Amino acid sequence: MIIYKTEEEIELMKQAAIVVSKTLGEVAKLITPGVTGLQLDKLAEEHIRDLGAIPGFLGLYDFPNTLCISPNAEIVHGIPSNKPYEDGDIVSVDCGAILNGFYGDHAYTFEVGDVAPEIKKLLKVTKESLYLGIEATKVGNRISDIGYAIQNHAESHGYGVVRELVGHGIGRTMHEDPQVPNYGKRGRGKKIQNGLTIAIEPMINMGTEKINQLDDGWTILTGDNLPSAHFEHDVAVVDGKPVILSTFDYIDEVLGNK
Which residues in 4-43 contact Mg ion (CB under 5 A)?
none
3 state DSSP class of 250: helix
C-beta neighbour count of 215 within 10 angstroms: 6
Residue pair 77/218 in contact (Cβ under 8 Å)? The answer is yes
Residue pair 96/174 in contact (Cβ under 8 Å)? The answer is yes
Stretch that binds Mg ion, among 20-28, 56-64, 124-132, 227-235 (CB under 5 A): 227-235
Check residue 91 for interaction with Mg ion (CB under 5 A).
no
CA 124 to chain centroid: 14
Residue 70 CA to residue 218 CA, distance in Å, equals 11
4 versus 63: smaller Cβ distance to Mg ion: 63
In whole angstroms, how close is the CB of 201 to Mg ion at the nearest point? 5
In whole angstroms, how close is the CB of 34 to Mg ion at the nearest point? 26
9 versus 201: smaller Cβ distance to Mg ion: 201
In whole angstroms, how close is the CB of 94 to Mg ion at the nearest point? 4
Which residues in 107-166 contact Mg ion (CB under 5 A)?
107
Residue pair 154/148 in contact (Cβ under 8 Å)? The answer is no
Q: HEC profile for 70-109? A: EECCEEECCCCCCCECCCCCEEEEEEEEEECCEEEEEEEE
How many angstroms separate the first and last alpha carbons of the chain?
Answer: 39
Site pattern 96..115 for Mg ion (x: CB under 5 A) = ---------x-x--------
Check residue 94 for interaction with Mg ion (CB under 5 A).
yes
In whole angstroms, how close is the CB of 118 to Mg ion at the nearest point? 25
Residue 67 CA to residue 75 CA, distance in Å, equals 14
In whole angstroms, how close is the CB of 107 to Mg ion at the nearest point? 5
C-alpha separations of 19 from 14, 54, 222, 246 in Å: 9, 10, 30, 9
- Kindly determine how many residues on this chain lie close enough to bind Mg ion according to the rule CB under 5 A: 6
In whole angstroms, how close is the CB of 87 to Mg ion at the nearest point? 26
Stretch that binds Mg ion, among 28-36, 211-219, 226-234, 247-255 (CB under 5 A): 226-234
146 versus 187: smaller Cβ distance to Mg ion: 146
- Applying CB under 5 A, among 199, 211, 226, 229 the residue interacting with Mg ion is 199
CA atoms within 13 Å, Cβ hemisphere of 33: 7
10 versus 107: smaller Cβ distance to Mg ion: 107
In whole angstroms, how close is the CB of 55 to Mg ion at the nearest point? 13
Residues that bind Mg ion (CB under 5 A): 94, 105, 107, 199, 201, 232
